[in-house]
Structure 1
């Protein structure tokens, strides 16, 4: 039972080819292609409005040096959002439910923000390890705690995204299995479970959008500390 329950998070393959590659490339194929016309269609207009509003909201607290990160963060947001939402469709695979993928996205970007801080403002960056006015006997302990809190940031980013998506998928799987099991004998309970399943699906869709936004937002906050 546990094997079948968690098998949905195993990376599928067909003829020895991992399908995670197709799942990661599919969102980019679904995006509308811009044209050279002055007046775009509704899809491109809506997409342009969304990217503009999100970029303005995300980079509002950052200075001009951080605005050069806008294309990267916007592409990452669209990538995570598309994968998370498409993973809710039946017979699909969610790559962001894999901790290895999330850590692969979080660790290099976090390390880049740290290196930028060490290059541009090393004194301010090292100052985070020891708050001003700290008692002398607590200095070694505070340095160790701040170092651990800095190194744990990419792990927290990856685990947060993985845990939220995995928990939602497991709940949907369990409730849907209960609906099919109760339908022949207890129709009323199955109907109530179906309502719960519908609400869980809406909640999971909201979680997919929010977690993509939170992932990029936390990266922008880490960048803000180092520029």
Structure 2
């Protein structure tokens, strides 16, 4: 069972925390992580791209010159895909890129992502994180105290907290989500992971 240190906002170790083996020390399944990340990115695509086919391009109703006798190639319309201003051959049309993956696969990928952070020593647990009012400067000082500056960092809190969100959102490379919105892409896309003790408990409650 992996044991990690618990830090306070001053960067001082205030205790230890035993993590759940099945979540934070699971076998890392890279194939599952890849599939879920690709699915996440596909679901984000709006699919609003559109090009005009030959029947949709305006104009080109008149044959530009006669079929034979001019010495030039035969052409039926100036809106041919071969001409500038013409249509597009097999161009993209609006479509839905979203698809679903099995729930079990998502759980395996989540556990793999968490386990990878713990294994690579890129996982930090805070005893608590709260602000009486939005204070970006205080959050910057907390990151400095944790020796966690200059890297992409994901902060996970137990419940939605506007003061914490507003304190973090202007810090470049640092993002915050609550425990209900955890996804594999965010975990993989950030180098470091900071979680509050309460957030760890909620994750273990759901995934264990």
| TM-score, scaled to structure 2 | 0.26
More strand by share: 2
Greater helix share, structure number: 1
Question: Considering only CA atoms, is the larger Rg found in Structure 1 or Structure 2?
Answer: 2
